[in-house]
Amino acid sequence: EPEVTQTPSHQVTQMGQEVILRCVPISNHLYFYWYRQILGQKVEFLVSFYNNEISEKSEIFDDQFSVERPDGSNFTLKIRSTKLEDSAMYFCASTPGGAYEQYFGPGTRLTVT
């Protein structure tokens, strides 16, 4: 069964450094998402992406964040200058259509020291 994959599974970085989290969505899906989950807290929406552009973003998704689909298969989340409070589990998700169930990847645990 096709699944969403994410790399790396765990990323440790120093405050102020740039990180890129990578995702490979399911191949025939059209909508792509990033969510994050701080330890012990809710899963929070960051951004949705459709037709090569951002369709919606949350207040969390400020100028430090960007997304890209560089080659038609990968979907990346970049954090330009990481802060301690960016430490969280980051989940990528995809769906064939906007109102369908979302398929989540296994997540990347980001630790900012």
- Strands 108-112, 10-13: pairing is parallel
Binding residue for other proteins (CB under 8 A) from 17, 55, 73, 81? 55
Nearest to 34 by CA among 2, 15, 56: 56
Position 65 contacts other proteins (CB under 8 A)? no
Position 44 contacts other proteins (CB under 8 A)? yes
Considering CB under 8 A, how many residues would be counted as binding other proteins?
28
Whichever of 22 and 109 has its CB closer to other proteins, that residue is 109
Residues 71-90 that bind other proteins (CB under 8 A): 89
Quickly tell me which residue has 């969280």 as its tokens: 88
Quickly tell me which residue has 């970085």 as its tokens: 13
The stretch among 11-19, 66-74, 78-86, 94-102 that binds other proteins (CB under 8 A) is 94-102
Report the C-alpha gap between 6 and 4 in whole angstroms.
7
Report the C-alpha gap between 64 and 16 in whole angstroms.
11
- Identify any residues that bridge with 56 across adjacent strands, giving them in sequence order: 48
Binding residue for other proteins (CB under 8 A) from 91, 94, 110, 112? 91
Q: Which residues bind other proteins (CB under 8 A)?
A: 4, 31, 33, 35, 41-45, 48, 50, 55-56, 58, 89, 91, 93, 98-107, 109
